[in-house]
Structure 1
């Protein structure tokens, strides 16, 4: 096995561990706060700390990435995430948890951004799409496994956190065996135009940047707000740990097939149709009542349709933007994800407090429906040029 492929598979294993961590800690902390009698609004505000850390860190990640390299950036992210996870069960004060989750967000986004950019760099052009799909699949697998760790709570509040910490140690060991690498240097002419590049990415690729926002909103709504919704509607914690993975399992099943289909018929069309299917699943969710199996079916359907939105959005950005702008699009996508993840628990907590709990699913369905309309009506400039060339 070549060194680049070995590095690739190490990064895949590391992102699985990152997925397990995030898939466990988000619903676990929501359940613990709900059991302590914390209001849904305060619960949502505390969950937002993770994503505030992501949003604050994301615009600056290119600096350490270029100065200390991919591996060192990932390792520093792991240090922050591990330290925060170890300290969480020793405190119960909301302010302390907020600060620790803030640090966890900084570490988590550092880990994922650096590893994603590293995979993009080492993947051969002819298999880059497949490798990035596999990266997203690995995160999804880890994220789906994560909520099962809630079942360790009978052994003590420390047990789930200890299990995740063991996985972090494994990630450190894996990364220690690979050589550090650095991004290609920025051409001198681009140094003075960073703000212009961001403006150009928004102007040319705004449609490709929306999926990262939608995915962040959906992921945080399901993992941060659904446990509260479930407990308030009489669903046990044990069932929550089985219902939640349905969304990610659905996305795992179709992650690579949808990527391959988008290569053939176009990512805009695939995302538009998938958004319609996902909107239907979320809008129908309140009709499932207390049927756990209906909930699992609808979440699996939604996950299969829109669970790969983040990777499809980045691939769409690569299709319609100049190559030099793609890293900038990756930064913006990360910020969008974080902003959506901050809004979701707070908006959902407010809606559950002043209205009916099921309205959080109508909100997700409405967003997907609006995006589907935008996808089906909007034709990008690059698509128009391609069509004009074919007609000529």
Structure 2
């Protein structure tokens, strides 16, 4: 007797839950590893610059994955590609137990960056294809929150034991292996991977120079701080668990402040929000860089770090929103994909630059470097405010908290779907806001002006 597969397993939200569950596990493992590696290297007395090189290796691999991951997924398919890349991640994590060697670890981290870029490309395109029409804003919000909670929760695992020995590497490898299970058990139809679309950095600069420079600066700044913050914590006297907890504070600060920052960016010139956020980052950076030890090891230090994360990790989405305000409808996907590459270029340089700053200026050099980058970003964006008028609120598409996860994420952005519909309707001569235009064609409503809710 033949048994039919229950219809429930084909429900689109179950398909989304499967891939989001897998990515959440990956982010827990990744967040734990980001906290663990600099502490292990510092315990082995590796030079600070070597720790920066290892972090740069990941960013370089991620950039390569952004360029070539779509080809790999088309070659063997979504599920097989996800399983292969997750299996390689698990194997690489175990390879770290061979010994603490900067050249070996740099190469391994580069491979991990490539794998993570491919996995995020699969996840973003999968979630985009399976999300029901009109629900993209909800799904994007849940997707972002789960990612941030996973990244903030991962470092807390280091409080469960000593960082010496291979135990944590083995646990992270197991988490990466378990991430394959939700995807392996899904029966949902697999999506087609859309072609990669990019505008080129020169084209992006011509369209939205403040957004491009902002994304590159954010990569320079955030990659250095997030990868080297545990080392900074260890250098100012924190225990390994507390030093890893700095990463949790960064992510929780971002989770709390992203809503008011988005709300503000929908009600004033977004560049003012970028400048204000960058100046806040610079102020906190100089405070931590010059007198980090004065904050002690309790809540004042973690509050300052949370404020830094709330501003520093939220500006990227405002830059994307600013760029979308100036893009033509048919440019949206290519523009946002190119901005992610700009961010990746900055991320490939930031950890090395930050590590040299720590060598020359001491532990506080990390935040002094970040403060200088933030000031330069604020200065350039402020200059651009004198060269181009701000878009009126009714001319904007609305803020969406977009992560820098892969070139496929713009297709999940509800603004992109709306822009595509507007482009088609304009070509057909239809009114995109009329009864037969816009949302009827795409099924996705324009995102509302940002409100502090889970939308």
Q: Same fold (TM over 0.5)?
A: yes
CA deviations on 1:133-188 (whole Å, 9 max, x unpaired) are: 433322221111121233345285222222223322332111121432113468xx
The aligned residue for residue 51 of structure 2 is 43
The aligned residue for residue 316 of structure 2 is 310
TM-score (norm 1): 0.84
Whole-angstrom CA distance in 1 between matches of 2:272 and 2:16: 30
Name which of structure 1's ranges 147-156 and 225-234 shifts more when overlaid on structure 2: 147-156
Structure 1 pair 381–111 and aligned structure 2 pair: CA distance change class (3 A): farther
Partners of 2:269 and 2:391 within 8 A in 1: no
Whole-angstrom CA distance in 2 between matches of 1:242 and 1:127: 34
Whole-angstrom CA distance in 1 between matches of 2:392 and 2:255: 34
Structure 1 pair 288–232 and aligned structure 2 pair: CA distance change class (3 A): closer
How many residues of Structure 1 are paired with residues of Structure 2 in the alignment? 382
Structure 1 pair 184–225 and aligned structure 2 pair: CA distance change class (3 A): closer
The aligned residue for residue 436 of structure 2 is none
Partners of 2:270 and 2:322 within 8 A in 1: yes
Q: CA deviation at 1:105?
A: 0.7
Structure 1 pair 339–169 and aligned structure 2 pair: CA distance change class (3 A): same
TM-score (norm 2): 0.73
Q: CA deviation at 1:340?
A: 2.4
Gaps of 5+ in 2: 1-7, 397-455
Q: CA deviation at 1:3?
A: 3.0
Whole-angstrom CA distance in 2 between matches of 1:119 and 1:381: 36
The aligned residue for residue 343 of structure 1 is 349
Alignment of 1:288-327 (within 5 A): 288-290=292-294, 291-292=296-297, 293-327=299-333
Compute the RMSD of aligned alpha carbons. Answer: 3.2
CA deviations on 1:233-253 (whole Å, 9 max, x unpaired) are: 322212202233111110011
The reply to whether residue 242 of structure 1 matches residue 245 of structure 2 is: yes
Structure 1 pair 265–16 and aligned structure 2 pair: CA distance change class (3 A): farther
Whole-angstrom CA distance in 1 between matches of 2:200 and 2:225: 34
Partners of 2:66 and 2:341 within 8 A in 1: yes
The reply to whether residue 140 of structure 1 matches residue 148 of structure 2 is: yes
Partners of 1:65 and 1:114 within 8 A in 2: yes
CA deviations on 1:212-231 (whole Å, 9 max, x unpaired) are: 43443344323322222233
Partners of 1:221 and 1:345 within 8 A in 2: yes
The reply to whether residue 102 of structure 1 matches residue 106 of structure 2 is: no
The aligned residue for residue 112 of structure 1 is 120
Q: CA deviation at 1:296?
A: 0.8
Whole-angstrom CA distance in 2 between matches of 1:97 and 1:169: 20
Partners of 2:70 and 2:121 within 8 A in 1: no
